Amino acid sequence: MTVLACAPLANAQNRNQAAAEEQAPWVVSVVHTVDLHKFINQISKQQEVRVGVPGSAPQKIVNVATGLVVDESGHVVTRLAYLDPEDKNPEISIRTSAGATLPARIVGVDCATGFAILAVASLKVSLPAMATTASIANGTPVKIISADFVPKPGAQDKVSQRYVSPEIKVTQGRVSTESIYAPARGALTLYASRLLSRNDGSIVTTFENKVIGLAQYAGYGRAYLFPIELIRDTVAKRVIEKKDSVPAGWLGAKGHSIALLSDTERGALGLNNKSGVIVRQVLPNSPAATGGLLPNDVILGIDNIDIISEVDLGALLSSMPSGRNIQLRVLRNSEPVKLGVVLGAKAYTGPNLDLLGSQRQWGVELSKRDEMENRLNELAIQYWELRDRAGSSKERNEAMRELEIEMLQVQDRIRMLDIQTGPQVASVDVPRITFSIGFVARQLTQQLAGHFGVKNGILVDSVKKESPADRAGIKAGDVIVGTQDQASLTASQLKEIFAVRRGIIPLKIVRSKQALVIQINNP
């Protein structure tokens, strides 16, 4: 999480923090102070874009993260969203359970997983007990330990100045061992109500305070859970031994999932199922080219892990370090072939927040478009449930903002996919329709219709202020189920009604599962 800051950290210690940390001295708050202008320059360089900075922007931003002590030498594993890999001396400190603030040195970043390793020479605490992955049953309830902060207005300038006091918060969730998209990352899946991006890097434990692993945020309400054995014995170890960052692995080939091919295309390739990735391009002088991979090869597996889809392949490669020797299992001209490949180094662009993952339904891989539509529906349901909840709170508002951000990101990815793939995915499209009287709406999917308690309808996404729709009282989240004399309308039919009828048009609306009629004036 990031906090604008123009002042040093406050020394006051929160009592709740002390109570929580006394039970877990191996949990620390990591405070990373970032030079805003250097950070903006880094973004501009990486993404080749110009980024504007308001004149009122502070010189420094403070990123507060969760840290786990993993050995007696004072090494701490954390995730830092704004770490510049070229900066060898970032301004980092840690806050212990005893309230001490200690300077920390960056050892390096494991770019495959995004975890950073810190060295705190004077840090001496007892180490945590561990829960092995094999001991965790599907659905196990867990504790999620996260660093948070208590902002306090500065005495002199309550607008531009903030003091920040780190604290530790504990929430609950459950672990899934049966998720299909996480195993390729060597991870379990963590589900928790209102899991937010600021929970990235949280420590997950049993209720007996045995550490299960560290979380990588993967979208609202879910995260990948990297086992503590992997974090301590592989991730931290390879960075500590190198005494520097370890780049993620890079193959240098592009392709797409076999499941997206037609039956005719699969038959021509000699494939009997929909698993695997067909190679469409091998980059010159890449590890794939050196290892002998060819266009039209079908990648079926890496080492002993089967590859079901393009998402699986990308996830697995991104979880491996550069320099690793892997064995590709491929199908070439209907014959199995094994290729030895040494992964190259992939440039580090910061911790990866995978907001989609990969899903499959009834044993058949879903297309990228299906995955994104399903995720969008899932997010929308959670958003409307929060919006319809009585009362307001900081946590509710924060959750709604994050849901809005992720929904916009998914919608952008859908639009980009439409541009890249063209009309062949139109069958699963749910277009947004703009109505001249001042609102944007879309046809409800079957899943969302059930949530709103209707058989079908038109979901209002947004309403333009001071428009006829706004003045009539239509709100975002309303479901239009018909007019006074016509039911079961489609969005296109409703648009046609507004095109040919003028004056007062009564609309049947369902709002928070309550039926009502709104009189709208169509000028």
CATH of residue 238's domain is: 2.40.10.120
Task: Decide which of 208, 242, 276 is a domain's last residue.
Answer: 242
| 94 and 148, same domain (yes or no) | yes
| 205 and 335, same domain (yes or no) | no
| 25 and 86, same domain (yes or no) | yes
Q: Would 354 be classed as within a structural domain?
A: no
Quote the number of domains for the chain.
4
Q: What per-residue confidence (pLDDT) applies to 205?
A: 95
Written as tens digits, the pLDDT of the chain (523 aa) is 443 333 333 333 344 444 444 458 999 999 988 877 676 666 555 544 444 444 445 677 788 899 999 999 999 999 987 787 677 788 999 998 888 899 999 999 988 888 999 999 889 898 999 998 888 998 999 999 998 766 555 444 443 344 456 678 899 999 988 765 455 556 788 988 878 888 888 999 999 999 999 998 888 888 889 899 989 998 999 999 999 998 888 899 988 888 777 777 777 777 777 778 889 899 999 999 999 999 989 999 998 888 877 777 877 787 788 888 999 999 998 889 999 999 998 766 555 444 334 433 323 334 556 666 667 777 777 777 777 666 667 677 777 777 777 777 677 666 655 554 443 333 334 567 888 888 888 888 766 677 677 888 888 877 888 889 989 999 888 889 988 878 777 888 888 888 888 889 999 998 877 889 999 998 8
| 444 and 507, same domain (yes or no) | yes
Q: Which residue has the tokens 């030895």?
A: 340
| 200 and 103, same domain (yes or no) | yes
Q: Would 512 be classed as within a structural domain?
A: yes
Q: Would 422 be classed as within a structural domain?
A: yes
Task: Decide which of 296, 316, 346 is a domain's last residue.
Answer: 346
| 111 and 16, same domain (yes or no) | yes
Q: What angle do CA 319, 323, 327 make, to 5 degrees?
A: 75
Q: Would 353 be classed as within a structural domain?
A: no
Q: Would 359 be classed as within a structural domain?
A: no
**pTM greater than the 0.75 cutoff:** no
CB-count exposure of residue 228 (10 Å: 0-12, 13-18, 19+): buried
CATH number at residue 263: 2.30.42.10
| 281 and 258, same domain (yes or no) | yes
| 409 and 493, same domain (yes or no) | no
Q: What per-residue confidence (pLDDT) applies to 306?
A: 84
Q: Would 360 be classed as within a structural domain?
A: no
Task: Decide which of 388, 404, 426 is a domain's last residue.
Answer: 426
| 133 and 212, same domain (yes or no) | yes
Q: Would 183 be classed as within a structural domain?
A: yes
| 71 and 211, same domain (yes or no) | yes
| 406 and 440, same domain (yes or no) | no
On whether the CB atoms of residues 220 and 195 are closer than 8 A, the answer is yes
CB-count exposure of residue 368 (10 Å: 0-12, 13-18, 19+): buried
DSSP 307-349: --SHHHHHHHHHTSBTT-EEEEEEEETTEEEEEEEE-EEEPP-
| 151 and 46, same domain (yes or no) | yes
Q: Would 293 be classed as within a structural domain?
A: yes
Which DSSP helix (H) or strand (E) runs through 516?
strand 514-522
Full domain range(s) for residue 133:
2-242
